[in-house]
Structure 1
Amino acid sequence: MAPSVDRTPPYLQVVQHLREQILKGELQDGDRVPSVRQIAEHWKISQATAMRAISTLSADGVVETVTGVGTIVRTQGNLHRSARDRFTRMLSTGRIYAPGEYAVIKSAELAPATAVVANTLGIDEGAPAIRRHRVTFNEQGPVSSSTSWFAADLAEVVPSLLVKERIPGGTPSAIQAATGRVGHTAEDRMTVDRATAEQAEELGIEPGGPVFIGCNVLRDADGEVIEVGEYASGPGRWTLYEYELPQSP
């Protein structure tokens, strides 16, 4: 079989590389990104192509060109890291949160499963499930609120799931260490809704205001659910995804 050929345009290769560094926290808010000349020399592309890459990142709202300074990362106020970003960061760095972010665990308990959670976990609605609720912050304030749900029987083998403290490396790592179950596939479902009173209080927004909400499901190699996550973030924050399109033969 002939080796695959990367047909991604050169400027998009630069965009993908820099965006990945930003999402992983390797380039943090306020850091300077390489100059157009440095990008052109490193990637062996024209300065016009390098400028196009910077313009694309600027349009995404993750960098800003400052006169006399250069192009710097600007993510604190407008970037929301998706479940995919967090799982990728966990696998590559062993950490869930990017530098400058931290989570406060609000509750860790057995609670009645909602209809969506129960259906995903394969249990009856209202049956007990482990519920961990947290709010994520950065230097500017709350970024998102999120809840992770797990099968109740995990409490016996991973008791830290019921402790109201952060778990180093994240809950998937703790479950893997205790059970050997490894996250194999994940899915995200997203929509927009109006903030509940609890979401509004945690995110510092008006009740009934717009919120971006999502549900993510992490499964092991057998397709069994490891974790069901629900999250909400306020307006003005961008979630970034990249994907390849099939090419005509």
Structure 2
Amino acid sequence: MAPQIERTPPYMQVVEHFRKQIVDGALAEGDRLPSVRQVAEEWGLAHATASKVMATLRGDGLIESVPGVGTVVRGRVHRGAADRALRMLTTGKIYAPGEYAVIKSAGLTPAPAHIAEALGIEEGDVAARRERVTHDETGPVSASISWFTAATAEAAPAILVPERIPGGTPSAIEAATGRRTHVVDERKSVDTATAEQAESLGIEVGSPVLVGLNTYRDADGEPIEVGESVAGPGRWFYNRYEVTG
């Protein structure tokens, strides 16, 4: 069945189709994309509109033209918390093909002030802390720490075990408590790598890094998980927002 054009501007719908495949990992680094002519034929677009699709993806740094090969997916995409949550909710898998996580530690520890505030508990209260490094074929992609209340850890004890959880922590928590992620708040900033972050990512201490503080919320807006993430230089983080009205 041929893809269907909806009410969004046709070229943007096609851009989003390919962007989602790249961010999800369905199209990996080096994979070829259809030619402009093929895009025009498959989606029923004018040649100029199909060219605009490819130009937009190229401008976003998602694809590049390789002489003698064609248009291929560029590498080093950093998938944010919202992308991973959406992938988990729609596919049951939190990591893209070729990605895997190494769990460095898991256990209970006093919550620092900024985490306690995000979780809605008191500073110093015991919280569950889970640390991991995500890898792909190129090496470490990002390092992250997930935080949960002690009550959540009691209901879903798998998060205290330093082993991978199929489907990720959101799936384990939903299975144990019925609480499902509905909203992900993402905050991003730029910093320099600490010694611990540099070791996890295989970069030099003091290298520029993209840091994030992410809160996964249920349907009532209550926090389920708070995540701290860090990605090294050269990793692109993508997001696109549709403005209406």
TM-score interval w.r.t. the shorter chain? Answer: over 0.9
Counterpart for residue 52 of structure 2: 52
Q: d(CA) in 1 for partners of 2:81 and 2:110?
A: 23
Deviations 1:190-227 (A, max 9, x none): 11111111011111111122110011101111222100
Q: Could you say which residue in structure 1 is the equivalent of 2:222?
A: 224
1:109 corresponds to? 107
Alignment-derived partner of residue 204 in structure 1: 202
SS in 2 for 1:153: helix
Q: CA deviation at 1:54?
A: 1.0
Provide the C-alpha distance between the structure 2 equivalents of 1:66 and 1:114, rounded to a whole number of angstroms. Answer: 48
Counterpart CA distance in 2 for 1:185 and 1:170 is 16
Find the aligned partners of 2:50 and 2:125 in 1 and give their Cα distance. Answer: 55
Name the TM-score, length of structure 1 as normaliser. 0.93
- Name the amino acid aligned to 1:62: L
Could you tell me which residue of structure 2 aligns to residue 241 of structure 1?
Answer: 239
Q: Give me the whole-angstrom Cα distance separating, in 2, the residues matched to 1:48 and 1:95.
A: 37
Residue 176 of structure 1 aligns with which residue?
174
On the 8 A contact 2:6/2:13 being kept in 1, the answer is no
Displacement after TM superposition at 1:154 (Å): 2.1
> How far did residue 10 of structure 1 move?
2.4
Query: Which of 140, 146, 149 is the aligned partner of 2:147?
Result: 149
SS in 1 for 2:236: coil
Distance (whole Å) between structure 1 residues aligned to residue 208 and residue 124 of structure 2 = 28
- Report whether the alignment pairs 1:69 with 2:69: yes
C-alpha distance in structure 2 between counterparts of 1:213 and 1:114, whole Å: 17
Residue 164 (str. 1) matches residue 190 (str. 2): no
Query: Which 5+ residue runs of structure 1 have no aligned equivalent?
Result: none
SS at match of 1:91: helix
Write the distance in 2 (CA, Å) between the matches of 1:102 and 1:85. 16
The SS at the match of 2:78 is: coil
Q: How far 1:246 sits from its partner (Å)?
A: 2.2
Q: Could you list the per-position Cα deviations for residues 89-125 of structure 1 after superposition, in whole angstroms to 9, with x for gaps in the alignment?
A: 1011110000011100000010121111101112221
Distance in 2 between the 1:121 and 1:66 partners? 47
1:190 equivalent in structure 2 = 188
Deviation at 1:6, TM superposition (A): 5.8
TM-score between both structures, scaled by the size of structure 2: 0.94
Q: Percent identity?
A: 61
Please give the per-residue CA displacement for 1:145-184, whole angstroms capped at 9, x wherever unaligned. 0010000122222111110000000101101101111112
User: What do residues 15-52 of structure 1 show as CA deviations (whole Å, max 9, x unaligned)?
Assistant: 11100111112212221111111100111112222122
Give, in whole Å, the separation in 2 of the partners of 1:23 and 1:241.
Answer: 10
Letter of the 2:35 partner, please give it. Answer: S
Residue of 134, 137, 148 corresponding to 1:136 = 134
Amino acid of the structure 2 residue aligned with 1:82: G
Tell me the distance in 2 between the aligned counterparts of 1:87 and 1:155.
19
Q: Say if 2:121 is the partner of 1:123.
A: yes
Cα deviation for residue 7 of structure 1 reads 5.5
Unpaired runs of at least 5, structure 2:
none
| Moved >6 Å (runs of 4+) | none
CA contact (8 A) 2:40 2:50 kept: yes
CA distance in 2, matches of 1:102, 1:148: 16
Partner letter of residue 147 of structure 1? I
